[in-house]
Amino acid sequence: MPRRVNSGSAATPLTTISIETGAHRLLIDIKREDMGEFGSIKGRVAAALVADGLQKNPGARHFVESSSGNLAVAMARICSGMGLRFTAVVDPRTPKALVSEILGSGGAIEMVDCIDSEGNYLSERIRLASKIGADQGAWWPNQYENFTNPLTHFTTLAPEVFEPARGPVAAVFVAVSTGGTARGIYDYSRIHSPRTRVVAVDVEGSRALGAEAGPRMVTGIGSTRESTFLRGLTGIERVWVTEEEAVSEMVQFNLDAGIALGVSAGALLRAAINQSFELSGTGGRIVCVAADGGTPYTELHGAFDSRRLGPRRYSLIWDGRAHPN
């Protein structure tokens, strides 16, 4: 009998917040992927990649993948539950909390220590994942090139974001790393809600959206390689924020709303604030897809001074467990 993979894609709730910046007040629906079974949006992708791997290679007993943390946590848990081996290829910038979760979930760790000419680890992580796949017979899904990645967001996440009962969506803000989430949301919106603006948000120094590489210190958003899934896609909007803005918004939101979200959610909130004038008169919902929770990023809380953001106040409107009538 074929082995059944836990989908990892049960619907996650929305939390509605208010942002007051002095000049404008925005209501934003935050898609709470941190409240999913695996604690991050990568749970959806992990389940789909394992299922895809078992379909293509029914005899697979060992999976390997390069990851900055969240995907590896989910794949470790899924593989362990199915009696499969999993090896995560990570680097020294991977949050320690996530490394501990991978190990505690039954996964093995391969830590790369070789950086490229730009001071990054991703190319070496990918090289090592490929080598383990070849040398040890492990199945390497390759989340960076495998279109199962955006397809799972098209089929699971996007219908939740655009659920008709919640009303029309004016704009969706999505953080990028591999670009799979943004591509899945974009493709779905072109069919079901073509007037919706899909905004891909990156941090300065990342190449995920095709910009030039620069120094970066945070994980959870961005990449040292251009997204395969977004390359040449002209209809999606691309915006950048600084790492300082992303981390500071994350910290301020945690303090004001009492909800710990990840650094990529901070980037989305900052991007929405930067466009508050245009967004305030749209008449539709504004959605930010929060990829994960804030626990892995607590070590960043003292990295920047959130008071430099200027006047800001986040207020929790409802807690996301049920949509208001």
Residue 6 has a pLDDT of: 60
As a CATH number, domain 14-40+147-318 is: 3.40.50.1100
Inter-axis angle of helices 70-81 and 42-56, to 10 degrees?
50
pLDDT at 263: 96
Please state which architecture CATH assigns to domain 42-136. 3-Layer(aba) Sandwich (3.40)
pLDDT at 325: 36
The residue with tokens 């650094």 is 263
Q: How far, in Å, CA of 65 to CA of 312, rounded?
A: 40
Q: What is the dihedral of CA 189, 265, 272, 226, to 10 degrees?
A: -60
Using one digit for the tens of pLDDT, what is the confidence trace for 101-154? 999 999 999 999 988 766 789 999 999 999 999 999 999 999 999 999 999 999
In this predicted model, what pLDDT tens digit does every residue of 187-242 receive, in sequence order? 999 999 999 999 999 999 999 999 998 888 888 999 999 999 999 999 999 999 99
Q: Are strands 197-203 and 313-318 parallel, antiparallel or unpaired?
A: unpaired
Do domains 14-40+147-318 and 42-136 share one topology? The answer is: yes
Q: What does the domain layout of the chain look like in residue ranges?
A: 14-40+147-318, 42-136
Give residue 32's pLDDT: 97
More confident residue, 51 or 303: 51
pTM over 0.85: yes
The position carrying tokens 């993979």 is: 5
Rounded to 10°, the helix 263-274/243-257 angle is 100
Residue 109 Ramachandran class (φ > 0 left, ψ -120 to 50 alpha, else beta): beta
Query: Quick one: CA dihedral 251, 254, 257, 260, positive or negative?
Result: positive
Judged by average pLDDT, the poorest of 52-66, 109-123, 293-307 is 293-307
